[in-house]
């Protein structure tokens, strides 16, 4: 019997089709701010999406602004990126990476692509001047682009 699916494969297929169809409603208390201190408070981080969109499946770049707590740009930081859809258990379809520092304390995050609407998280691990810290940003992607925090609170 060559064509019989093994049980784990069958379960995985059912589970993944369930996850895709049950898109999930993001938690209502999700913090959608694009600017906040890193988790241990070592840096102030601001995420800047493209001015327009981005549309689903459109490859694009963000700018990541890293400052000290008193507002001075943090240059020469090493920033790692990870993220995905917490409710779907998958990552980005691409490998977004911090590629370069475009201005003091401003870093380009390239290769970002949202492959579906819903809740995505963007996790940064920042190392600079002997300090390291991390932070998470939540993004709700709608068909019209990124849902801004302001439009979430204005219900």
- Contacts with Cu ion, residue ranges (CB under 5 A): 85, 88, 116
Q: How far apart are CA 14 and CA 3, in angstroms?
A: 17
Residue closer to Cu ion, measured from CB, 85 or 146: 85
112: exposed, middle or buried (Cβ count in 10 Å: 0-12, 13-18, 19+)? buried
Per DSSP (E only), the strands in 3-130 are: 35-37, 43-48, 60-68, 78-85, 90-91, 97-103, 106-112, 118-128
DSSP state at residue 18: H
Residue 13 has phi, psi (to 5 degrees) of -65, -45
Residue 57 has phi, psi (to 5 degrees) of 65, 15
């Amino acid at each position: 019997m060559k064509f019989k699916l093994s049980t784990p494969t069958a379960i995985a297929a059912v589970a993944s089709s369930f996850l895709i169809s049950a898109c999930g409603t993001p938690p209502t208390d999700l913090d959608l701010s694009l600017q906040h201190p890193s988790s241990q408070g070592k840096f102030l981080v601001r995420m800047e999406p493209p001015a327009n969109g981005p549309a689903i499946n459109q490859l694009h770049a963000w700018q990541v602004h890293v400052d000290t707590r008193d507002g001075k740009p943090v240059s020469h930081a090493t920033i790692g990126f990870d993220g995905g859809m917490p409710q779907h258990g998958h990552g980005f379809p691409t490998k977004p990476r911090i590629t370069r520092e475009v201005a003091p304390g401003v870093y380009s995050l390239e290769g970002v692509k949202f492959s579906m609407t819903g809740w995505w998280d963007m996790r940064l691990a920042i190392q600079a001047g002997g300090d390291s810290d991390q932070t998470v940003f939540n993004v709700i992607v709608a068909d019209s682009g990124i849902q801004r925090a302001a439009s979430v609170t204005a219900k």
